[in-house]
Amino acid sequence: MSIHLQRITVRFEYPVYFTRDAFDAGNTDLVDALAWREPTRRHRALVVIDGGVASAWPSLSRDVVRYFDAHSGRLQLAAEPLVLDGGEAVKNDPAVANALQNRLHDVALDRHSFVVVIGGGAILDMAGYVAATVHRGIRVVRMPTSVLAQADSGVGVKNGINAFGKKNFVGTFAPPFAVVNDGRFLETLSRRDKIGGIAEAVKVALIRDAAFFGWLSEHAELLAACDADELQALVRRTAELHLAHIATAGDPFELGSARPLDFGHWAAHKLESLTKNRLRHGEAVAIGVALDTIYSAAAGLCDRGTAESVLGVLHRVGLRPWDEALTWTAPDGRFLVLDGLNEFREHLGGDLTITLLREVGKALEVHEMREDLVRHAIEQLRRHESASIGPR
Ligand SMILES: NC(=O)c1ccc[n+]([C@@H]2O[C@H](COP(=O)([O-])OP(=O)(O)OC[C@H]3O[C@@H](n4cnc5c(N)ncnc54)[C@H](O)[C@@H]3O)[C@@H](O)[C@H]2O)c1
Ligand SMILES: [Zn+2]
């Protein structure tokens, strides 16, 4: 018998542009994003647009066509831009992904062509999954349009759709070809979604960057007022922290069991499913982060002052660290949200590994969570909610 150990190393690189007015003919960032590997070729692309973005920017499809015309020596549209509904529904209904596969087949995109996706995190995840599996991987240029997507999901390496009531049950790890973050898009995002995206900034600041948490605290009121410059600064720093983690933490495709960027997410994902997406991802993350922070204090891992300041910042930026779904129970009295722990373990594989808080800027990992302390943390959040209803 003999064994051959096969070793393959693949290097991934993708530029992330921070720009404004990407479809102005004079702005060449998108051309560069498509052409950076092969500058002399003419590149063919299908552009997919989030319906929410298309409604907010009625001339967008025309602007895209005009942009491709203005750069016709280097770019070519495979078809008219395709507008699909946005929001979590595109991840919940497999027919949407199937229809997009059909479309890629119809326009005969090959593996050197591009899908350019303009939209929120949900459509980026869905279209990214479709593109990653058609021909085993078509190139994707992401143009995230929400705070959450520009700061987190759009610059990362994952995609996916939901199935069997579970978030991201079907999906792949597939780094994008390039990312173009156009700050102008954020102008039309609803206040609800602007604030929701801030939750991922609080999350990554807590586990990685105490100074950034301090900045979030100092700027909380301006952020709550959706000040454009403040949100832009938040997006930039949050994206940098996510990018740095993916590049340097040693496990970009999450082959191990630890997943620090998913701090607060075991509960968040469960709350999204339990509420049938009444809670948006960012809103659920704010609750999950609050829950795991209070748990950390209750378990003696961080001090109570830390937990207080986390709740304070969430509250001041306009996030509500509470939802009734936290208290929904199974017939045997068990809190349904606790099922999120097992689902999280299953999604990661291996041992349950939950990221908790040691202090602001420093995380630690545990391999079990005590049910009584989770209940205690939920009770604390309920009290905090009752106490804060007055001044709201
Ligand atoms: N792949 C990852 O690593 C990763 C990481 C974090 C979150 N996510 C996923 O991202 C999704 C959440 O993304 P989201 O917060 O962007 O929500 P979303 O994509 O659901 O968008 C929210 C709403 O805003 C609209 N919208 C988006 N941009 C707009 C704009 N500029 N103007 C007007 N309307 C606009 C959309 O049409 C939608 O109705 C979740 O599915 C979550 O699981 C993925
Ligand atoms: Zn998230």
Q: What is the mean pLDDT of residues 254-271?
A: 91
Which one is predicted more confidently, 313 or 348?
A: 313
Residue 121 CB–ligand 1 contact under 6 Å? yes
DSSP state letters, 140-203: EEEEE-SHHHHHTGGGSSB--EEETTEEEEE--B---SEEEEEGGGGGGS-HHHHHHHHHHHHH
**For residue 312, how far is the Cα from the chain centroid?**
23
| 116 bridge partner residues | 47, 141
Residue 122 CA: distances (Å) to CA of 15, 64, 117, 277 = 21, 21, 11, 12
75-77 and 178-182 as β-strands: parallel, antiparallel, unpaired? unpaired
Residue 173 token pair: 């790890």
Residue pair 197/151 in contact (Cβ under 8 Å)? The answer is yes
Nearest CA to ligand 1 atom 4: 153
C-beta 34 within 6 A of ligand 1: no
Mean pLDDT of the chain: 96
Q: How far, CA to CA in Å, does 169 sit from each of 89, 91, 159, 309?
A: 15, 10, 10, 34
Decide whether any atom of ligand 1 lies within 6 Å of the 149 Cβ.
yes
- Ligand 1 contact, 158 CB (< 6 A): yes
Q: What's the rounded Cα separation, in Å, for the pair 48 and 141?
A: 10
Q: Which ligand 1 atom lies nearest to the CA of residue 159?
A: 1
Angle subtended by helix axes 304-316 and 191-208, to nearest 10? 160
Rounded-to-integer distance, Cα 324 and Cα 37, Å = 50
Please work out whether the CB of residue 264 comes within 6 Å of at least one atom of ligand 1. no
Angular region, 294: left φ>0, alpha ψ -120 to 50, beta rest:
alpha
Tell me the best of 57, 85, 125 to mutate to test the pocket of ligand 1, counting ligand atoms within 8 Å of each CB and taking the most.
Answer: 125
Residue 328 alpha carbon to ligand 2 centre in Å: 22
Rounded to whole angstroms, the Cα distance separating 271 from 274 reads 5
Q: What SS3 class is residue 374?
A: helix
Question: How buried is 269 (Cβ within 10 angstroms: 0-12 exposed, 13-18 middle, 19+ buried)?
Answer: buried
Angle between helices 228-248 and 210-218 in degrees, nearest 10:
170
Which pLDDT band, with edges at 50, 70 and 90, does 165 fall under? Answer: confident
Proximal ligand: closest to the CA of 140: 1
Q: Which residue has the higher pLDDT, 306 or 250?
A: 306
Cα 62 from Cα 94, distance rounded (Å)? 29
Over the stretch 192-224, which tens digit does the pLDDT of each residue have? Answer: 999 999 999 999 999 999 999 999 999 999 999
Pocket test for ligand 1, best of 193, 195, 204 (most atoms within 8 A of CB): 193
User: pLDDT band at 256, cuts 50/70/90?
Assistant: confident
Given this model, what pLDDT does residue 392 score? 45
The pLDDT tens digits of the residues spanning 361-378 come to: 999 999 999 999 999 999
80-97 pLDDT, tens digit each = 999 999 999 999 999 999
